[in-house]
Every structure is written in structure tokens, then in C-alpha cells.
Amino acid sequence: MEGETPESLQSLFWYATAVFVVIGTTLLVSYLVGERHESPATSDPYESGIVPTGSNRFRVPVQFYLVAMLFVIFDLEAVYVFAWALVVREAGWPAFWEMTIFIGVLLIALIYVWRVGALDWRKNAP
Amino acid sequence: MMHDLPILDELRLRFGKDSAQIEETRDDIPTISTNKASVLPLLRFLKEDTDQPYRMLFDMTAIDERNRTTRPMDASNEFTAVYTLFSFDRNQDLRVKVPLASDDLLLPSITSIWPSANWYEREIWDMFGIRFNGHPYLRRLLMPKSWEGHPLRKDHPARATEMTPYELEEEDEQTEQDLLKFSPEEWGMQRTHDQVEYMFLNLGPAHTGTHGILRLVVQLAGEQIVDIVPDIGFHHRAAEKMGERQTWHTYIPYTDRIDYLGGVMNELPYLLAVERLAGIRVPARAQVIRVMLAELFRIASHLVWYGTFAQDVGQLSPVFYMFTDRERVFHIIEAITGGRMHPGWFRIGGVAHDLPQGWEHLVREFLEYLPPRLNEYDDLVLGNRIFQARTKGVGRYTTQEAMDWGVTGPGLRATGFSWDFRKTQPYSGYEQFDFEVPTATNGDCYDRGLVRVEEMRQSLRIIEQCLNQMPEGPTKADHALTTPPDKARTLHDIETLIQHFLAVSWGPRIPAGEVMAKVEATKGCNAYYLISDGAPWPYRVRIRTPSFPHIQMVPSISKGHLLSDLLAILGSVDFVLADVDR
Amino acid sequence: MHRDRVSPNNQESAETHQADENTDRNRLRLLEADGYQEAVRRVIVLARLQDLLAWGRKNSLWPFNFGLSCCYIEMATSLTSRYDIARFGSEVVRGSPRQADVIVIAGTVFRKMAPIIKRLYEQMMEPRWVISMGSCANSGGMYDVYSVVQGVDKFLPVDVYVPGCPPAPHTLMEGLLLLQEAVGSERRPLSWVLGPEHIKRPILPARRDLARESRQQARTFPGMDTVAWYSSKDQGPR
């Protein structure tokens, strides 16, 4: 155990170093190479050629977060499904039924959020 | 004949003889002159209280009369405001004029009667400096905020080369860009409401979805549209001012570039108006050639619309098919006229040249080619479920709303109201053609599309009739004012040679008078209101374009929709920026 | 007829390339004579790298999706199947100026629009090129009128002017080829840290001058009386 851990850590260390070197070189080279120009609007955001109104950091309506969070929640469940799928034969039928119940619960949750209108993008349709 | 129209008697009875004086014009449009005090009640009466009301504010403009030679002038009529109303029940226009003194350029706003008056009044303020009392936000519409002067006044320079050469220093650029920056407070809009922070997004001028340099400032709550402030004038090419300095003949190419997808279709209303002033009767062959080319351009324009509309709602491939078909149209156009988009091929009194040998073959080939393609596109685009989901029920309006906003063309017919100026006020021999006016029922994006697709088929029918029944005969009127004059009339003696030289270099002098002619163009009703002083050039050219009111309507039909629906709405409205800003 | 006009130009351009190579060779010979072997090797490597970059740039000029008026319709037509600008590597139309290499000023430059065009140009990243498409953008064209800037070169550096009102799609494509030629023979600095930026570009002759001779030799012109060309079905007697 003791001999094993540093070795795997070592490989992890080299891996991380390689990642940093590659990223660092890419960033550095792309920073150095090429031409630059600086004029008044160069670093302004592009918005159809017009100076934008207001800041881009403002409170966006809650629906955006709601949809994002629901996506993350339902998406994360896929991790368990994948893990189960790898050992589906070994785990056998009990696991299958457990997974069915699990997906069933998710389905009910999905129907629930749908019914309460959490997936409606706009408030009052015209 | 015009004087005994019942509406004129009714007006004189109700508003007194002085407030409704009848004026002479060269077209059949009854014209009354009224005064400032009675214009608002008079217009309200015409829209709301009379039988068979004048429901549509067809056009609204002004005239700077100060240089006019053929009109009694005094200080009280240096400017004239002109309202053109249209009654669908009567199938008749009515022109109401209000003289104004240059020291008192103020009129009551009629935005309370017609919502569409909003932009027309702003345009008049921008171009002539006439103010409107009670207008919600009277400010420049076409010219930049920093502009000084009112361009359509006679004392404003016309040419860029008469003005200080244009320069764009860094500070100018900064000031102009700051002036373009949208300020919600200026438009009475809130930045936050009920804990929702609104986002103000500039859609355009450099945006693909706006089909040109149109700017829409969209107020968004999340992705839902709260309000839209359109900003136009980026494409203002001063076509009306141009008309005052080009000769009658050399103005023709400029008309092509108004609705730049419509090509020769634009020349038609201008020439109809000029020929009416000059009293020219166009020979039958020239008329049929004009109709055929105009209908070919209707197809070309609708094909561009079809492809780009499909692209706007996410279909990437149809546009390639439609543009290829459009090249087939241009194949014919190029063979006949030598040009592609702007042939400038109609002339005062006819067309530039007779059809080339072999034209029938090209046209027949196209008539065989397009119908199966259109059927295929029905499946590809209109039948597509996603396309339907994106367009059905989006951007709806009723016939009544359409009339209030001045909507004509396919946009009006999609609401179920069958109105086509080719049928109701036939011009250029359209009464001889057998075709139908397609309509739809819901007035949404999908229906506007449906109407246009069917219109292409009807245009093909018209072209087929042109092909089969092309009359023989001359392609230019035998009239002294036909331009360029017939070569056979020249080279007899020095007198005919001089006449020919003058007619070619200066062009004809068109008799004094005023006239309006309208056609059912590709986007809706396009009309030219011309005033002649008897000079070799017009005194005033007013171009009533369909896209202008259509774009003005977009905010009212987009509210509550999502941002992505706005692009479907813009695509379905089918406008051309040169047609909006002129 | 059109093909005739193009072919002498192509020959001409091939000759200019040859001339360029000759001068390069001369320069090398001089350096060798001075004995700066090391310097020479470095120049060769750098020059070859620059050639490679120029070749890459030349064949992938991505246009900015930007149009002003009528010309834009013809520019869009050049993207579609009949003309297919993808043959020249320019089909990747970018929606943002940051990602675009070339801005085609397709249409009339309006005074209200000029500050916006300038802003968009400023937001483009180096290297960037400008094609002025159509008479309006070239000089104001037929619109010598108060609301129109008399040519986009009043405030932007233009690389290629394409004449026409509007230019047909194939004319724009010829303009693109000219720009490619210019870009391919351009030498741009490899990095901004090496010192002041200096771009070497050859001055290309005006097309009008090159085509003059062949145009002067033209003797037959198609009339307006017959259809000038026939479609595939139309080969039979008429």
C-alpha cells in the first residue's frame, strides 16, 4: 500500500505537470505570436456595432437558474445509471428493479416539475 | 366628375366650405384643402364616423412649396402637409392637404386616430421641421441625432459634394457612438420592474437576423420581449431628394434601388405616374412586357424571402435551393435586359428595347421548371413540423389592426382580407389577366408565408399568359414626351435633331400637375406621388413604400413573444431596408 | 466573353509571382557573397515560415457577415450553390468581427452607419482586410447625396475595390481572388514583441490597365436582338 500510493501520486504529478506545460506553452505562444492593434472599440463587447446599454452583470430572471438546476440534477442521475450499466450482469435483477424504481422516482419528479410550470420558459404566453 | 363625390358634399356640409376646399389634381384622387384647426376632427370623422370609412392612413408627407412657380404663393402656404387616406369599402383614396406658414410649422398629431401616423409624423419633423402637437416622442427618425437642418427643405443641400467633406475623426466616432447608445429613460422605459431587471439588447444594425441595417432595441425580461424600439434611417439613401435633382428620365435607375429585391417592379409606379402626367398611353406590347418582367421579379423577391425565412427559423438548406432558382429568373432577366438586380429597363412611354429573339424559349423553360420545385419546397419548408411550430400562432394580427397600421400586400391578405391592387385598381393591363388573389385566415407568420408561396404560383400563371398572348406592335408610345425618343422621328432636319438632342440630354419637360400611382409591389402597395412644375425634373417625389408601415408594426405584434420568435416575425414580414428608409 | 477577359490577367499574375521569386533569389545571392551564412539560413527559415503563414491566410479568408444594401444580396448569392465561394475557402461566414479576416463593405456607406462600420472594423482582430464592394462603397457611386459617405476609403483602408452596381457574384469572387493574391504575397511580422510592426505588401496593378489591351482588341459584341446564350435544352435549331 505504502509503496503504491507515492507511485500513483507521482504519475498523477507528471500528468498534471504535462497539462500545465502544454496549456502554459499554448497560452504563451499565442500571446507572443501574431499582431496586435489597439483602437478605442477593440476590447469593447460586440453588440451589433452599438455601444451596449447597461451592464452584463445583472439579475437574470429565475427561470434561467431553474432550468439550469433541473438540468444538472437530472443529468447527474445519469452517473448512477452509467455505473450500474457497467455491472449490470453482476448486479442481477435486484439491482435492475432498484434502478427501475430510481428512474421511476425521477420520472415522477420530472412530471411534477413539468406540472408546476417550472419548465415553462415564458411567464404568460400571448 | 370629381366634384360631385358624395363624401366631398358631406365634408362641406359638416365642416363648412372653407375647411374643405376642393383642389385640382391630375389623378382621380379627390383632394381637399383644409385648415389647421379642422384637420383633426375632419380626419377623425373620415375614419370613424362616415359610412364606408377611410380606414387606412395610406401615406402622410409634406411639401416645401417655397420654390414652386406654378402655384399662387403667399406667406400662408409655404409648406403643405399631405394626408392620403384609403377606403377599402369605396376602393378610393382621399387626399387632405393643410397649408402651413413657415413661421408656424405646427400641426395637431393624429397618432390618436391612426397608430401608424407615429413614424410618418416623425419623418415629417425630421425632413421638413414641421412639429406635431401631442406626439408621444417627436424626434428624428431617419437622420442621425447630430444632424443639423431638415433635408427635404429646398434650402438644404442635396449633394454630399456641396457639403463639407465627410471625415470621421476619433472624437467624432466617439460622439456618434455615444449618441447611438440606447437610453431607456429617454423612451420612458423602466430598467427594472417588480424585481425583474430588464436587459436591453441591440439587435442590429449589423445583425444577420434583421435582413439589413435595421436596429431593434429589445427590452427583455429573461427571453421574453417586453417592448421593442426600432431605430431606422441607417439605410436612408435620400431617394426623395434625389428625385428633385435628377431628370424625369435619369431618375428611373434610382427607383430600382428602393425595394432592391423588386427590380423593375419599382419603376412601374413611378412611370405610371409620369405617364399619367404626360398623358402617354403605353402600347399593349410594352404593357405586357412590363407585367411579365414585374412578375418575374415578384418571384425572384419571394424566392429570396422564402429561403431567408426558412433560414431565420433554423432551416439551413432551403436557401440554397431558392437562390439557385432565383438565378434561373435572372437568367431570363439578363437575357432580356442585360442587367440582374437593377435593370433600369422601363422607359417613359414603354420599355428600353424589344424582347430578344429566343425569349419565349427561356420563359417557357422556366415555367416548366419552377412549379415542381415549388411543390418540393412545400414539403421541405411549409410541411416541416418544426417550421410550423416556430411560425404558427406567432406574430398574429387581425384585418382591423392591419388597416390601422397601414399594412398592405401579403401581410394584409394573410388576415383573410382579399385585397390586391392588381385586381381592385388594375394598372398596366392587369385586368386582362386571369389570376387569383391568395388569402389565408390567421394572419400569423405561417399564413403570411403561405400567401407568398401561392402568389408565386399565380405569378407563374400571369407570366404564362404573357408568353402565350404577347401582342405584336411597338414597345414605345408614339408620343412627343416618350424618352428616349424614337430614332425614326429624328435626323430629318436640324429641328428634329435638336429636339432629339434635348430629349436625350435633358429629358422631357413633363406638364405641371400632381399625381399618384400605386402598384401591388412585392412587399405591399408601393406608390409614387409626383409633383411637376413643368420643369425637366420633378418638383417633389414622394415614395410611399410598404415596408415602412410594416416595420413600424413589428413591436406591437412581438410583445410577449420570445426573442427567437422575433426573428420569425421579421422574416415573415419580408421587408427591405431601402424600402423602409428610402 | 468574360473568360477571355480573365485569362490574360491570370497569366499576368503568374508572371508577377515569378518576378518576386527572382528578386528573392538575388537577395540571397548577395547575402551569400557577403559571407553571412548563418544569417542566410535564418532568413530562409523565417521566410519559409512566413510563406507558409501567408499561404494559410490566403486560402482561408473568412468574411464577416456584414452587409449594407443591395450588394449584400449579391454577396449572399456568391455563397450559394451556383457560384459557391467555398471553392476559394471563404464560405465560413462569421457572425462576429473577432473571428473574421475580411470585411466586405457590401453596399452604400451611410453617414448614420459610418461610425458603426468603423467600430466593427476596430473590433476585428489582426490580420484584417477590407473589400469595398460596389460603386457606393467605392466612391459613393450614383448617390452623391447628403446622407451618403462618398466612399468607404474616407475612413477605412481598402485593399480591393470591386466595381459594379451591384457587382455580380462572380465579380466579387474575382475581387476575392485578387485579395488572395495580395495576401499570399504579403509578409507580416511573426510577433508583436519583436519590434514595430511592419507589413510588406506588393503593389498590385489595376485590373483595368491589365485588361485594356484585350478589351481594345474586342471587335464583336453581342447585340440586344437575340438571346445571347442558350440553356442545355436549347441546343437544337430554332
| Range of weakest confidence among B272-286, C102-116, C214-228 | C214-228
Residues C91 and C126 in one domain: yes
pLDDT band for C37, please (50, 70, 90 cuts): low
Give chain A's domain count: 2
In terms of DSSP bridges, do strands B192-193 and B196-197 run parallel, antiparallel, or are they unpaired?
antiparallel
In terms of residue numbers, what domain contains A26?
1-37
The DSSP H or E segment spanning B449 is helix B445-468
- What distance in Å separates the CA atoms of residue B492 and residue B91, rounded to the nearest whole number? 48
Give chain C's domain count: 2
Give chain B's domain count: 2
> Residue B546 phi/psi, 5° resolution?
-70, -35
Residues C17 and C92 in one domain: no
Count of positions (residues) in chain A: 126
A126:B180 CB<8 A:
no
The 3-state DSSP class for residue A70 equals: helix
A41:C119 CB<8 A:
yes
Quick check: is B186 in a domain? no
C192:A35 CB<8 A:
yes
Please name the residue of chain B whose CA is at the shortest distance from the CA of residue C145. Answer: B159
Residues C29 and C132 in one domain: no
pLDDT band for A49, please (50, 70, 90 cuts): confident
Give pLDDT tens digits for C110-135: 998 999 999 999 889 888 899 999 99
Quick check: is A85 in a domain? yes
Asked whether the predicted pLDDT for residue A22 surpasses 90, the reply is yes
A60:B224 CB<8 A:
no
Q: Which residues of A touch C119 (CB under 8 A)?
A: 41, 44, 49
Which of A36, A49, A50 has its CB closest to that of C126? A36
B170:A126 CB<8 A:
no
B222:A47 CB<8 A:
no
Give pLDDT tens digits for C165-178: 889 998 999 899 98
Give pLDDT tens digits for B269-320: 999 999 998 889 999 999 999 999 999 999 999 999 999 999 988 888 999 9
Quick check: is B318 in a domain? yes
- What distance in Å separates the CA atoms of residue A57 and residue A26, rounded to the nearest whole number? 30
Which of A50, A60, A122 has its CB closest to that of B181? A50
Give pLDDT tens digits for A53-95: 888 788 777 778 888 888 888 888 888 888 888 888 888 898 8
Number of cross-chain residue pairs from A and B with Cβ atoms under 8 Å apart: 68
Report whether C167 contacts C142 (CB < 8 A). Answer: no
A53:B170 CB<8 A:
no
pLDDT for C25 equals 52
Quick check: is B206 in a domain? no
Residues C100 and C21 in one domain: no
Residues of B with CB under 8 A from a CB of A: 170, 173-174, 177-178, 180-184, 191, 195-197, 199-207, 215, 217, 221-224, 559-562
C238:B358 CB<8 A:
yes
Asked whether the predicted pLDDT for residue C197 surpasses 70, the reply is no
Residues C186 and C69 in one domain: yes
Report whether B218 contacts B201 (CB < 8 A). Answer: yes
Quick check: is C6 in a domain? no
Residues C77 and C30 in one domain: no
pLDDT for C35 equals 59
B242:C82 CB<8 A:
no
Rg from Cα positions in chain A:
25
Give pLDDT tens digits for B334-355: 888 888 889 989 988 889 888 8
Mark which of B155, B171, B200 sits at the end of a domain.
Answer: B155
> Residue C132 phi/psi, 5° resolution?
-95, 115
pLDDT for C36 equals 62
Cα three-residue angle C37-C40-C42, rounded to 5 degrees = 115
pLDDT for B169 equals 81
Mark which of B155, B172, B195 sits at the end of a domain.
Answer: B155
Please name the residue of chain B whose CA is at the shortest distance from the CA of residue C70. Answer: B260
Quick check: is C5 in a domain? no
pLDDT for B271 equals 92
pTM of the full structure:
0.85
pLDDT for A123 equals 63
Query: CB count, 10 Å around CB of C196?
Result: 6
Mark which of B138, B155, B172 sits at the end of a domain.
Answer: B155
Residues A66 and A111 in one domain: yes
pLDDT band for C13, please (50, 70, 90 cuts): very low
Per-residue cell: A15: 500528468
Report whether B26 contacts B528 (CB < 8 A). Answer: no
In terms of residue numbers, what domain contains B104?
6-155
Residues A31 and A76 in one domain: no
Number of cross-chain residue pairs from A and C with Cβ atoms under 8 Å apart: 39
Quick check: is C3 in a domain? no
Q: Which residues of A touch B205 (CB under 8 A)?
A: 48-50
Distance of CA B189 to the CA centre of its chain: 31
In terms of residue numbers, what domain contains C20?
11-44
Quick check: is A77 in a domain? yes
Per-residue cell: B172: 467624432
Residues C125 and C209 in one domain: yes
Give pLDDT tens digits for B145-172: 888 889 999 888 888 888 888 888 888 8
Residues B476 and B361 in one domain: yes
- What distance in Å separates the CA atoms of residue B118 and residue B124, rounded to the nearest whole number? 10
Residues C115 and C188 in one domain: yes
Please name the residue of chain A whose CA is at the shortest distance from the CA of residue C190. Answer: A34
pLDDT for C18 equals 44
Cα three-residue angle B30-B267-B354, rounded to 5 degrees = 125
Contacts of A109 (CB under 8 A, 6+ apart): none
Point out the residues of chain B with pLDDT beneath 50. 1
Q: Which residues of A touch B222 (CB under 8 A)?
A: 60-61, 63-64, 121-122
Write the DSSP string, B364-401. HHHHHHHHHHHHHHIIIIIT-HHHHHHHTTSS---HHH
Asked whether the predicted pLDDT for residue C234 surpasses 80, the reply is no
**CATH number (domain holding residue B71):** 3.30.460.80
Quick check: is C197 in a domain? yes
Cell 409620369 sits on residue: B274
Residues C115 and C200 in one domain: yes
Report whether B560 contacts B224 (CB < 8 A). Answer: yes
